[in-house]
Amino acid sequence: MLYRRAGAQSPALRDRSVVVPPAPRHAVIPHCKATETGSSKSAPAPPKPPKPGPVGASVPVTVGQAPDGKKVVSVTPPPQYTATPYTAGRVSSASLDEEEDVLPLRNLRKHLKPMDSPFVVDNNRGGGFVGDRDRVRLHTVEYESQESAGAFCADGIATFGDEDVCLVLPEWAIRCGPRKTIYADPTQVSAAVVTCGGLCPGLNDVIQNIVYTLRDYGVPEDNILGIKYGLRGFYERDEKPITLTSEMVDGVHLKGGTMLGTSRGGANIKEIVRRIDLWGLNMVFVIGGNGGNAAAHAIAEECEASGVVCSVVGVPKSIDNDILLVDRCFGFETAVEEAQRALLAAKVEASSAHHGIGLVKLMGRQSGFIAMQASMASGVVDVCLIPEIQFDLQKLNEYVAKVIERKGHCVVCLAEGAGQNVVKGASKGGTDASGNPILADIGPIVKDSLKDYLKGNCDIKYIDPTYMIRAIPTTTNDRVYCKVLGQGAVHGAFAGYTDITVGLVNTHYVYMPIQTIIQAPRRVNPTGRRWNRLVSAIGQPNFS
């Protein structure tokens, strides 16, 4: 396992032979001078923290191996908390001058004038405000030992790619929500909303709630633009931006797709920033996946380089649920629910035929979350194949034959990115306009292989519901989630942040630097509890 600091431009990789047990959760890995462990000498008192930079500043982790071979790890004293009345929870007693181990957020506050939020008059409708130093803990599990499931990357998040990398994370993330002090006069705000990449349930929901929240702050309706057909809509003459009014977005959440249209790639960042400056935009909201958020990060960088003061805020969208750090992406629950319908239909088809096989291909280029979750939820799947785990076609064929011999039929669920190891040469390779790998179509290959192995003595029903799933409106939970994400994005922009995205992390809404979440796709842990629960439930063997 290789280790690197999340968000680092040129990460230093830690040798896999150096295994340092995770620090106790009452200690934070990062800032103080390293102390030797395993020594008979008593450890010196921890030094005072250095003079701080801005809230959220990042300090590299000091973890490694001493010249004498002893492992070293740096620790800081536990934070101090004060008890509050009425069981209000823990409140940090640390002063604002203390250094914090949090995900760093960029802001434009030195260029902006602070002022009271328009919601101060009624204390945000009685709900109060979120403080800039409200934090959400990123590390929530204390492991007994390195042998515990999931303990191998206790202080970060693993990528599970061609080379397993553990991105070391700070202890905290900044909480999302409305601030008492804002850094933009709502009457002077000009904002734009754009959707990027493939379709996903919930796009219209997020657009709607960004518009509604901007209006709640007092932004004039004429000052909210919708960019047509992705980022190229900033500068292409064929499609002009539209004005997004409350009336225009009313009821749009009941429809699938995106009212603004979308496209992949084609982003001329310099030209986009030129238009942002020309149109006087000071807030841009980018709803997209890894590619869309990468573009948002590039726009924020170019704005800074060009001296354009504009808050760029992303909303992570991925039907595959493959955004790092985020508990789940909007649209994922809807996709799982609809994918389950396809699996149930495959069960009916397979069980109604002699030696029937229901073969369902679901979304999941690099991450098998939809296939795994839908298989678990449906309770009808006999075999689940995901991109994270390679398989051998011969072993798969043999097992499917055994299942048919035992129960008369078999249901197979596979993610679109599964089995690329068995179809080498069938794919053109390379990436699409969004930077996603171009894959060989695994579905027909598995279908033909099963038919050949069973010598035609089977009835295979092949189902690919991909475009049906992408185009539907959201289910209840996703609809609520989209509302919170849209509101949180606007609150973040008014708080003066830029180059950030908003999402649910450890069941709490937080702001994250875009650079952290775009480093790699989030993937299913092949040795993790979720995958283990599924293969245990369906009795699936190892096909590799």
Active site residue ranges: 320
Q: Which residues contact 306 (CB under 8 A, 6 or more apart)?
A: 273, 277
Q: Distance between CA atoms of 449 and 525, rounded to whole angstroms?
A: 27
Q: Distance between CA atoms of 151 and 376, rounded to whole angstroms?
A: 24
Q: Which residues contact 237 (CB under 8 A, 6 or more apart)?
A: none
**Residue 74 φ/ψ, nearest 5 degrees:** -95, 145
Sign of the Cα torsion 110, 114, 117, 123 reads: positive
Torsion angle of the four alpha carbons 524, 528, 534, 540, in this order, in degrees rounded to the nearest 10:
100
Is 495 in contact with 129 (CB distance < 8 Å)?
Answer: no
194, β-bridge pairs: 286
Q: Distance between CA atoms of 289 and 329, rounded to whole angstroms?
A: 9
**Percent of the chain that is helix, strand, coil (3-state, to 5):** 30, 20, 50
Encoded amino acid at 285, one letter: F
What end-to-end distance do the CA atoms of the chain give, in Å? 21
Q: Please state, as a whole number, how many other Cβ atoms lie within 10 Å of the Cβ of residue 307.
A: 8
Sign of the Cα torsion 444, 449, 452, 457 reads: negative
Is 323 in contact with 294 (CB distance < 8 Å)?
Answer: no
What is the Cβ-side half-sphere exposure of residue 277, based on CA atoms within 13 angstroms? 16
Residue 93 three-state SS: coil
Is 273 in contact with 308 (CB distance < 8 Å)?
Answer: yes
Q: Distance between CA atoms of 255 and 513, rounded to whole angstroms?
A: 31
Show the beta-strand stretches assigned E in 333-458. 356-362, 383-385, 409-415
Over its C-alpha atoms, the chain yields an Rg (Å, rounded) of 25
157, β-bridge pairs: 167
Q: Distance between CA atoms of 426 and 416, rounded to whole angstroms?
A: 14
138, β-bridge pairs: none
Residue 160 three-state SS: coil
Q: Distance between CA atoms of 88 and 95, rounded to whole angstroms?
A: 19
Residue 487, H or E segment: helix 476-494
